[in-house]
A and B are shown apart, each in its own frame.
Chain A
Amino acid sequence: MVPLSFYLVLSGILFACGVTGFLIKRNIIAIFMSIELMLNGVNLSFVAFAAQWGALSGQVFVFFVMVVAAAEAAVGLAIIIAVFRTRETLNVDYVNLLKL
């Protein structure tokens, strides 16, 4: 029997790693992956609480989060490709002018 707080701590660690990656990474794709890591951490806490309260709606919500994450990943990566075509760089520090 694993106490629920263990799952919450794991979810918190994943979320914290996601935020840290978002702050310290300079590669736009790595930043995007940190966002996905944050979403995964949140998914874990949803499923953990669903198991504690015996409510399957937590798992259904995770399903929706996954679908939205997929849609966001597709559009975000398309934006990254479009930005790369014009700026020729993937480093966010160099994408700091509105017009080249």
Chain B
Amino acid sequence: MSITQFILVSVVKIVLATGGLLTAVAYTVWLERKLVGHIQNRWGPTRVGPFGLLQPLADGLKFIFKEDLTPPHVHKPLYIAAPMIALVCALTSIALIPVGGWVRVAGLSTPLEITEVNIGLLVILGLASLGVYGVALAGWSSNNKYSLLGGLRASAQMVSYEIALGLSLVGVLILAGSFNLREIVDAQSGTFWGFIPRWNIFRWPSQIVGFLVYLTAAYAETNRLPFDLPEAETELVAGYHTEYSSMKFAMFFMAEYANMITVACLASLLFLGGWHGPVAGPAIVQAVLPVFWFGLRVFAFLFLYIWIRGTLPRFRYDQLMAFGWKFLLPVATANLIITALIVALRS
């Protein structure tokens, strides 16, 4: 297709993806409040709209109208830049996530992702690494001992668990032979013995271990319970976002939930078979149905995230770091070695 058609299609995809991601972030907040409420034997938000479905709208309006005050003692350039860094890195990851196969619209065929990059998985890991700056700089620029401690702890935690996260994914990469997310999903098409789908989570003895390591490392990367000590209110007066109010706090909030959604999308793509599922019907339904199956997997992962948030208590910081370095890292390395051995012996 010509360059103007390409730009037009890309702009449409960007608008749809960003709008979809922001709506998903807002409604993940709603889902969390409802689910955690029901786990704790109470209703979540029920007043605003049916089942509290307009609650995110009310929250957004509240954030916009709240006073955005900048304390006088902060280091201003970094104080303002830190939430932006966090949000930019969180929102950019959606550009690399494929949500479906190729579609034909008005004679143009395009893949259902904003860019198809050969090293897509590495770029997502790189964006996760850059997201640490938002947290570290927020903690330091707030000029406040609770924020500094929270920022230091959060960035140390994120850097430590990035290693286990990356290593748990290398098993999947060995099986698929490529960093391209679309190729990894395509390698999971088909079934074992006719009825078990060929998802990576069912392959070999060790990919389930890889999935569990990825799950745990993802909880730590996104600073969620049981690893949310750096932002826990009872521990550090809200940690690195103590001094932030209104829209800047909303940016951190959105960045955290966008990270959650990115991690859930990655898990669906790498371990749960992407968008594969029964497809039937006319062409338009066949194009949209994979997206639906993908969304179902992401929803299941987010449900698991929120379920664990409502159930488990918090790790203490030294327990957290010991767990990441002394348990997860060896387990991820063992998973990698076993997967590599099996693949090498088979070929």
Physical contact A–B (CB less than 8 Å): no
Binding site for A on B (CB under 8 A): none
Binding site for B on A (CB under 8 A): none
